[in-house]
Structure 1
Amino acid sequence: MVNWEDAFRKWVDAKNLDPILKQQLIEMKSNKNELQDAFYEQLTFGTGGMRGVLGPGINRMNIYTIRKAVKGLAFYLEENRVNYRDRGVVIAYDSRYMSKEFAIEAAKVLGVHGIKAYVFEEIKPTPLLSFAVRYLGTVAGIMITASHNPPEYNGFKVYNEEGSQISLDEANEIIHHIQQVEDELHIEVLTEKHLVENNLLEWMNGEVDHAYLEQLIKISKMDEQALLAEKELKIVLTPLHGTGLPLVRNGLKQLQFKHIHVVDEQAIPDPEFSTVQSPNPEEKQAFKEAIKLGDEIDADILLATDPDADRLGVAVKNNENKYVILTGNQLGSLMLDYLLMHTNKHVLKNARMIKTIVTTELGRSIANEYGVKTIDTLTGFKYIGEKINEFDATGETFIFGYEESYGYLISSFTRDKDAVQAAVMACEMAEFWKNKGMTLVDALEKLYKKHGYFKEGLDALTLNGLEGQEKIASIVNDFRHNEQQAYGNMKTIYVEDYLQSTRIYKNGQNKMEKVYLPKENVVKYILEDQCWICLRPSGTEPKVKWYYGAYGKTEKEVDERLSTLEKSLQEIIVQPLHLT
């Protein structure tokens, strides 16, 4: 922790401080709490990058914190990559405030080290950045985005040369180099003009998009005749003011989906996300305009991509003719089942499905039916990407990866969650079931009747500032050492502590095993009857999250168990805080 008052004075007294940031600092002088929050610590560079509120200060997203992060990345590349100058770094950005400016700042810092930057001329989705790293053969990628955070946020994500989010080891090395940069206000940068004249900056146009679309059509499971046939499915698409529209629309057109209706008000890139409370497709309010348009045209499926188009939400009509939003667990399970039923049995023998430790167990049951092995990773798609990279050496076949938070990947030509791939596959799947007289809701019920009912829940607490940080740490610590033997009538079988890499059996078994996953501050309780709970602090927001999942032979049984878990966790986590 730094002395925030000293850090503030250093900034406000700096001679060449950006004039906009300087004015904001002057306006903040009367608000001690705001100043302290902006300067009490360095903006955290986590396991994949950093994300924070825009504004002046070392704990804010601005040109100086961007420069410092890029400087650290440049030092890392110099030490760990060959031909890094010629191979360069590709940079993309979304529709948020300062996104393009931050992308250019990153290029200006890289240029000082002689590292060429490939920067997209227009806003692009995160999965395209992942693809671009692999397509261009760069040593790294940078994505300027804060995903579906509120408008006042922006972020900085780093991708390695495989197109995946950086590994824990890579992140730690980059963090080490960032910490060696002592003065973020005096980092050398080159001018944009100098970069262009010296071939250190190349603006990217449509080449990468076209190459991506060529790969995208290959994920289809339709035969040639079906592929060329015009589809009857009626689709509503909203990019929620972000980057997803061009690639999703063109990807659907390639598969001969002709009835694509765009929510025009939300097709315009807008850093305020003015038509939604939050640009998060997990939330029902984000679908308000899509549902209105869907009702007008009697659409079969509604698609919503988040601002950087790595997450996809889908809504379809139920038996009461009302649109319901499928959860990430439900949509992922449906796609997994569709993919496996249309994959050659010889391929399935060596196939691997990857999910996170908080993703539904329905996926494991489906994979087992087809003889496909399931691999569990820690929460976060970066770990799924790492596993896929390992398959390049082991010869295992990646078949599908997903997480509960609306992230899916069908083909590994990208190495991060990809809402473009998912949107195209969701529509192909919906068309398949429509031709059988069924909706995706019907198809999901069919899965439940075969495998049993699986349902999941998620709750979270947002606790801002230094005090909030301390409370989150206390909550996680209490949960870790809680000797809870049962939740309702569901006994604890064992507890997995991923920070300690241990699996400890309860209820008198007195047995311990090693867990072979990366160390992370996460605790998971495995309960009877295929039920479970898991608690983790967020790596990108001032939140603590707890996940829970239940199983039942009937819908009534699973609902009762899920309700028991929800109430128990509220009593254990929230009530002791006496929050008003």
Structure 2
Amino acid sequence: MKIKKSALEWCRAPFDLNMQNQVKSLINKETELKDAFYKDIEFGTGGIRGIMGPGTNRINKYTLGKVAQGLSLYLKDQFRYKKIKAVIAYDSRNKSEYFAQIVANILSANSIQVFLFNSLRSTPQLSYTIRSLKANCGIVITASHNPPDYNGFKLYWKNGGQIVPPKDIELEEIINSIKYNEILFEGKKDKLTHLGKNTDAQFHKVCISLAKQKTNSKRDIKIVFTSLHGTSINSIPVILEKVGYKNISIVKEQSTPNGNFPTVLSPNPEEPEALKIAVNQAQKENAEIVIGTDPDSDRLGIAVKNEDGDFILLNGNQTMMIMSHFLLSVRKEKKLINSKDYIASTIVSSPVIKKVASYFKINCILTLTGFKWIGKEIENRKNENFIFGGEESFGYLIGNKIRDKDAITSALLACEIGSVLKCQGKTIFDFMIECYKIYGPYKERLINKIFTGKSGAEKIHKMMSNFRKNPPKTINESKLESVEDYLFSYKYCLKKNKKYKLNLPKANVLIYILKDKSKIAIRPSGTEPKIKFYISVNKKNFKYNNWKLTELELEKRIDSIVKELKL
């Protein structure tokens, strides 16, 4: 009854006729109506993200309008008696430009000076531009790597990082208090400035300064690049050419920005399927590296040749290890490493990153899932040297000039690593094996279980509750040693029968650590209707000094864990 009442409210003013008709078409479709109206779309993970369409639980001009109107009021409260500036970017998704203009109109209607990019731009460029223009906040209209029917609103604060507590909680309260008839949709033209190509050159220069290596290598590696129909087509080829790369082969059928992402099931470089066309092209052209980004260019996928000459997709943990070890090795050679250096990662990523930090005798900061927390650490540690940050979900950041994961700069770094190694007669795959020989071999796997709609959300909640209340005593014949529960902020050691406090903000994350040092992290996604299982296993040494045999053994251990957890 409550759902239908809410839907009927959308069938009259202040909602426009188009929206009213869309809602009316759902009235007799019980499941669709329920999913569209059973709740208000939640402000979380730095903004809102969801399926586009009519309803309170969908992305549309009114749900985005509430967020933009609430943000306007919050900005006025936070920056009283000051000229408030906001930067807005958008990606290649369907309706991204339309939604960006709506948000720009609402902010300008509230007397906020808006700087709107005149065409699609990447998330890392937005993050950088906030800082360069000394804006108070920034917004990018994107749903990152989600399927085509999604879109969203990611919010960044004046430091260029995503909004974090307590600001997100304070803002959410204001958003929830906004009524739809209070949204100011009529923008003020004198409060709107368009940003063009003049901002690109500055951003490209910064990316190059962060990733370019001082080397005598020829930069003659053969690169295949795909933007997966997204924003990086405007940045990565230009930057690579400026640095000196000439053998760049662009995947033409994926180079045109297109919100339907017609050549892939999902524009997510984490998925091997998304890079299949690029890898096939690389094989035909005898390329040495494949790089691909998601639509807003914050995630980077890398495929390299293994010892048999076949392309493999590096997982996020492997890329993170390779990049951090390489950057720190360069600093060590130059005798630049000092006690203020640190790298950062997340609690669901591979434990190998802590070993990298330990090897170079620097700090490793672990945060909750989401790059906003790494951005927060950078802001809080202004007297320390942030070298590199990464998370298993293909997000990486070099230096502190950009404050969110950055596939543009990371793509250049990947090519630079490949070039330096080629000059030494090595490949990126060889370098990865060298790292594993230092830190011990690791293997990871991410399992996603998707449950859509209201019933799906209830199932995910039930699964998390069950894993929390009934942890297994053994998994794959290895005893459970400890349970980390970030929702209740404790680590429980079974052997000592003792609880320890976890000093991170509360989050719905559960981590099992086994006696054999296997790690299983479980959490519901903050942006999609899925529950995620992050599995990491490792060994002290290689099996017969052979990576293939070692990898096979580690994969079998993961298979056993998946089977026992009934995933």
> TM above 0.5, one fold?
yes
Q: 413, 420, 424: which one pairs with 2:408?
A: 420
- Matched with 1:65 is 63
Cα deviation code 1:393-445 (max 9, x no counterpart): xx111011000010000121110000001100000000111112221111111
Q: What is the CA–CA distance in structure 1 between the aligned matches of 2:67 and 2:352, rounded to whole Å?
A: 40
Q: Does 1:515 align with 2:502?
A: yes
- Cα distance, 1:363 vs. partner? 1.9
- Matched with 1:179 is 176
TM-score of the superposed pair, with normalisation by structure 1: 0.93
- Cα distance, 1:315 vs. partner? 0.7
* 8 Å contact from structure 1 (residues 248, 424) kept in 2: yes
- Matched with 1:578 is none
- Matched with 1:215 is 206
- Matched with 1:577 is none
Q: 491, 494, 500: which one pairs with 1:503?
A: 491
- Matched with 1:118 is 115
Q: 285, 294, 299: which one pairs with 1:297?
A: 285
- Matched with 2:469 is 481
Alignment of 1:131-530 (within 5 A): 131-181=128-178, 183-191=179-187, 195-196=188-189, 199-220=190-211, 222-223=213-214, 226=216, 230-343=218-331, 344-392=334-382, 395-507=383-495, 509-530=496-517
- Cα distance, 1:180 vs. partner? 0.8
Rate the CA distance shift 1:295–1:558 in 2: closer, same or farther, 3 A: closer
* 8 Å contact from structure 1 (residues 316, 441) kept in 2: yes
Q: 509, 519, 525: which one pairs with 1:532?
A: 519
Cα deviation code 1:328-352 (max 9, x no counterpart): 1111111111101111434343210
Q: What is the CA–CA distance in structure 1 between the aligned matches of 2:473 and 2:553, rounded to whole Å?
A: 19
Cα deviation code 1:426-465 (max 9, x no counterpart): 0000011111222111111111122210111111211112
Rate the CA distance shift 1:355–1:94 in 2: closer, same or farther, 3 A: same
* 8 Å contact from structure 1 (residues 360, 404) kept in 2: yes
* 8 Å contact from structure 2 (residues 290, 304) kept in 1: yes
* 8 Å contact from structure 1 (residues 117, 200) kept in 2: yes
Cα deviation code 1:5-64 (max 9, x no counterpart): 01111112x146334433333333331211111111111111311111111111110000
- Cα distance, 1:322 vs. partner? 1.6
Rate the CA distance shift 1:291–1:558 in 2: closer, same or farther, 3 A: closer
Rate the CA distance shift 1:570–1:112 in 2: closer, same or farther, 3 A: farther
Q: What is the CA–CA distance in structure 2 between the aligned matches of 1:304 and 1:207, rounded to whole Å?
A: 25
- Cα distance, 1:267 vs. partner? 0.8
User: Equivalent residue of 1:151, what SS?
Assistant: coil
Q: What is the CA–CA distance in structure 1 between the aligned matches of 2:471 and 2:3, rounded to whole Å?
A: 39
- Matched with 2:8 is 9
Q: What is the CA–CA distance in structure 2 between the aligned matches of 1:562 and 1:296, rounded to whole Å?
A: 29
- Matched with 2:531 is 544
Letter in 2 for 1:529: D
Q: Does 1:32 align with 2:30?
A: yes
TM-score of the superposed pair, with normalisation by structure 2: 0.95
Q: What is the CA–CA distance in structure 2 between the aligned matches of 1:41 and 1:567, rounded to whole Å?
A: 38
Identity of aligned residues (%): 37
User: Equivalent residue of 1:143, what SS?
Assistant: strand
Report the RMSD for the aligned CA atoms in angstroms: 1.8
Q: What is the CA–CA distance in structure 1 between the aligned matches of 2:90 and 2:409, rounded to whole Å?
A: 19
* 8 Å contact from structure 1 (residues 457, 566) kept in 2: no
How many residues are paired up? 559
- Cα distance, 1:567 vs. partner? 3.6
Letter in 2 for 1:187: I
Q: What is the CA–CA distance in structure 1 between the aligned matches of 2:132 and 2:471, rounded to whole Å?
A: 50
* 8 Å contact from structure 1 (residues 495, 526) kept in 2: yes
- Cα distance, 1:325 vs. partner? 0.7
Q: What is the CA–CA distance in structure 2 between the aligned matches of 1:212 and 1:514, rounded to whole Å?
A: 42
* 8 Å contact from structure 1 (residues 487, 564) kept in 2: no
Higher mean C-alpha displacement, 417-426 vs 214-223? 214-223
* 8 Å contact from structure 1 (residues 52, 59) kept in 2: yes
- Cα distance, 1:207 vs. partner? 2.6
Higher mean C-alpha displacement, 342-351 vs 51-60? 342-351
Cα deviation code 1:172-216 (max 9, x no counterpart): 0110000111x325522224xxx22xx211011023211111211
* 8 Å contact from structure 1 (residues 244, 309) kept in 2: yes
User: Equivalent residue of 1:252, what SS?
Assistant: helix
Q: What is the CA–CA distance in structure 2 between the aligned matches of 1:568 and 1:448, rounded to whole Å?
A: 22
- Cα distance, 1:319 vs. partner? 2.2
Alignment of 1:33-48 (within 5 A): 33-48=31-46
* 8 Å contact from structure 1 (residues 351, 372) kept in 2: yes
Higher mean C-alpha displacement, 451-460 vs 547-556? 547-556
Cα deviation code 1:352-393 (max 9, x no counterpart): 01011111122222222111211111111111111111111x
Rate the CA distance shift 1:564–1:232 in 2: closer, same or farther, 3 A: closer
Letter in 2 for 1:258: K
Q: What is the CA–CA distance in structure 1 between the aligned matches of 2:151 and 2:242, rounded to whole Å?
A: 33
Q: What is the CA–CA distance in structure 1 between the aligned matches of 2:276 and 2:565, rounded to whole Å?
A: 35
